[in-house]
Chains A and B, each alone.
Chain A
Amino acid sequence: MDNFINRIFSKKPSSADQARDRLRLVLINDRTDLSSEALESLKDDLLDVLSRYIKIDPKTMRIDITQEGRQQRLIADIPIAGPVSRKY
């Protein structure tokens, strides 16, 4: 009955969904040897470098690691807000 009530009143993902989602992240970490903190700091560094050339709104920038077969891919989608005003 507990199970039944839980299913009706909460939108908790099933245990198989949780297993799949957790594994997806763990496998990316294992394969790339990149923790989620390391990925965050990669994003920050990337933002620093890119900002020297173009104007970027960090809120619109998306950087993710995706899986294609057994190949990991770093996908960056970075809308350009405008040119950096150069100082002459």
Chain B
Amino acid sequence: MSAKVLTITSGKGGVGKTTATANIGAALAKRGQKVACIDADIGLRNLDVVMGLENRIVYDLVDAVEGRCRLNQAMIKDKHIPDLYLIPSAQTRDKTSISPSDMIRLCNELRSDLDWILIDSPAGIERGFKNAIAPADEIIVITNPAVSAVRDADRIIGIVEAEEKGSPRLLLNRLNPEMVKQNNMLSADDVVDLLAIHLLGIVPEDRAVLISTNKGTPIVLEEKSLAGQAYRNIAQRLLGEEVPLLDLDKGSGFFNRISRVFGSGEK
């Protein structure tokens, strides 16, 4: 095995990097891949709580980098999906406690035992972001159909290309097909046209995401959720399969609206 290192980044905060990392990781592991998700947001630890593993942390990323534990001691086994692991970030340290070369060394040590290493990047374009992209073989830039998020995504894409990391792929998160139809939200075509990079997937706005995050379970385990389906499709595309983009219009159809009124599909 030689793992592929995939960094999920965005520039702007709050667009869904951590949720995307947790769910792409879960979807890949569900397809039999061995995956480690690394929370590279030192000082603002969050991936643990999104994955529902916050009570199992003993050692963290900085402990592993500074040699206070072996690397596998910092790897927490997921409770839902076999072969999924989390390396949590340190909560009481800051971004300067590790360097880009530390991240490269750490990922190289992990590679031989895994299929995928997913890195959840912090927001911003400073040290934490540099740490997160340093070991990346591939980069996913995530954005929302909002002017601020798209602008920041463009900056990030420019920096990634300047660092000769190749062209990143785009994940458009929280698209609301109804608002697009009313011409009150940028469409996927608009965003792809503005940013001019390859689209990896579109995740529709879905209340089920917050609900599953509340419980610490990945949305990809909810068979009925459209967002869950979108993440499962993204994992398949990462594995080289050709999967058409979701038909998001059916999510606003009559029966779906009825089922939403009665609260089904949101367990």
Chain A residues in the interface with B (C-beta under 8 A): 14-17, 19-20, 22-24, 26-27, 30-31, 67, 69-70
CB distance A16 to B185 under 8 Å?
Answer: yes
Chain B residues in the interface with A (C-beta under 8 A): 146-147, 150-151, 154-155, 157-158, 161, 180, 182-187, 190, 194-197
Give every chain A residue within 8 A of B185 (Cβ-Cβ): 15-16
Using known A-B contacts A14-B183, A15-B183, determine if residue A20 contacts B190 with beta carbons closer than 8 Å: yes
Give every chain B residue within 8 A of A16 (Cβ-Cβ): 180, 183-187, 190
CA distance A18 to B2 in the complex (A): 46
| In the A-B complex, the 7 residue pairs with the closest CB atoms | A14-B183, A69-B196, A70-B196, A16-B183, A15-B184, A27-B154, A20-B190
Closest B residue to A68 using CB positions: B196
CB distance B154 to A30 under 8 Å?
Answer: yes
CB distance A70 to B157 under 8 Å?
Answer: yes
CA distance A60 to B20 in the complex (A): 51
Q: How far is the CB of B41 from chain A (nearest CB, A)?
A: 25
Give every chain A residue within 8 A of B187 (Cβ-Cβ): 16
Q: How far is the CB of A14 from chain B (nearest CB, A)?
A: 4
Closest B residue to A27 using CB positions: B154
CB distance A70 to B186 under 8 Å?
Answer: no
Give every chain B residue within 8 A of A15 (Cβ-Cβ): 183-185
CA distance A27 to B195 in the complex (A): 9
Please name 17 pairs of A and B residues whose Cβ atoms are closer than 8 Å in the assembled complex, sorted by A: A14-B183, A14-B184, A15-B184, A15-B185, A16-B180, A17-B183, A20-B190, A20-B194, A23-B147, A23-B150, A24-B194, A27-B154, A27-B194, A30-B155, A31-B158, A67-B196, A70-B195
Closest A residue to B190 using CB positions: A20
Give every chain A residue within 8 A of B194 (Cβ-Cβ): 20, 23-24, 27
CA distance A16 to B195 in the complex (A): 16
CA distance A70 to B194 in the complex (A): 9
Q: How far is the CB of B151 from chain A (nearest CB, A)?
A: 6
CB distance B151 to A26 under 8 Å?
Answer: yes
Q: How far is the CB of A24 from chain B (nearest CB, A)?
A: 7
CA distance A19 to B154 in the complex (A): 15
Give every chain B residue within 8 A of A70 (Cβ-Cβ): 157-158, 161, 195-197
CA distance A26 to B150 in the complex (A): 10
Q: How far is the CB of B154 from chain A (nearest CB, A)?
A: 5
Give every chain A residue within 8 A of B186 (Cβ-Cβ): 16, 19-20, 23
Q: How far is the CB of A66 from chain B (nearest CB, A)?
A: 12
CA distance A16 to B184 in the complex (A): 5
Q: How far is the CB of A69 from chain B (nearest CB, A)?
A: 5
Q: How far is the CB of A86 from chain B (nearest CB, A)?
A: 46
Closest A residue to B197 using CB positions: A70
Give every chain A residue within 8 A of B190 (Cβ-Cβ): 16, 19-20
Having A16-B183, A23-B150, one finds 17 other A-B pairs with CB under 8 Å, namely A14-B182, A14-B184, A15-B183, A15-B185, A16-B184, A16-B187, A19-B190, A20-B190, A23-B194, A26-B151, A27-B151, A30-B154, A31-B154, A31-B158, A70-B161, A70-B196, A70-B197
